[in-house]
Amino acid sequence: MANVILRTAEPKDVPDILRLIKELAKFEEMEEKVMLTEKDLLEDGFGDHPFYHCLVSEVPKEQSSEGYSVIGFAMYYFTYDPWIGKLLYLEDFYVMQEFRGLGIGSQILKALSETAVKTRCSGMHFIVAENNKESIEFYKRRGAADLSSREGWRLFEIGKEGLHICKRKD
């Protein structure tokens, strides 16, 4: 496909970004968990201190069966490891079903890698569900290391209710 453009997201892309976030969540059977609104995305991504950055893939409208021109996105931000410094964290990465297998995902990953190198990040990292074999193979083919398997890292999450212990007096 000759006419795919990869570019930095702009405020006008927010409705498409939210649409793709919901599509990805639906694929993961978690659509009802998406609480973000367009207003949140606009404020959080395009204000004075953005919480995230975004790339979008775009095709001419007539090439998309549903008339959308933005057909993929990648959301990322910068994290920090006190041992090795800045890192680029890839939070979400999605290409619409009908546009897969065309190298768009690879292009996005390469663009993010270039961003990571240019902004002096020591690495690019993210999480993948262990049952998502296709994604795992995609990343491993390109040299990714599974740190959970190799080094034993486990992801923990504490919700607001979990930190209620801080309200108790000792």
Partner 1 sequence: MFTFFCTSFCCPGISCCAIFRKNDDIHLHMCPFGNFSCVRLELQRDGFCQNPFFECLVAEIPEELKSKEGFTVVGYALYFYTYSTWKGRSLYLEDLYVMPEFRGNGIGKGLLCKVAEVFKQCVRLQLSVLNWNTPSRDFYAAKGGQDLTVSEGWHFVRFDGQNLDNLANDAPKI
Full DSSP string of 61-97: GGGSTTS-SEEEEEEEEEEEETTTEEEEEEEEEEE-G
Residues 97-116 that bind partner 1 (CB under 8 A): 107, 109-111, 113-114, 116
Q: Closer to partner 1 at the Cβ: 68 or 126?
A: 126
Residues 50-89 that bind partner 1 (CB under 8 A): 51-52, 55, 75, 77-86, 89
* Residue 52 among the catalytic residues: no
**Which neighbouring-strand residues pair with 72?**
57, 95
* CB of residue 167 to partner 1, shortest distance in Å: 9
What is the dihedral sign for C-alpha 162, 166, 167, 170? positive
Examine residue 134 and tell whether it contacts partner 1 (CB under 8 A).
no
Instruction: Report whether 94 contacts 23 (CB < 8 A).
Output: yes
* CB of residue 168 to partner 1, shortest distance in Å: 10
Residues 21-40 that bind partner 1 (CB under 8 A): 21, 24-25, 30, 33-36, 40
Tokens representing residue 57 in the block: 């893939």
Q: Closer to partner 1 at the Cβ: 65 or 161?
A: 161
Lay out the sheet containing 5-8: strands in order across. 5-8, 53-58, 70-81, 85-95
Residues 137-166 that bind partner 1 (CB under 8 A): 139, 142-149, 151-166
Neighbour-count burial of 139, counting CB atoms closer than 10 A to its CB (0-12 exposed, 13-18 middle, 19+ buried): middle
Among 8, 38, 133, 137, binds partner 1 (CB under 8 A): 8
Q: Closer to partner 1 at the Cβ: 100 or 125?
A: 125
Q: Would you name the residues annotated as active-site residues?
A: 139
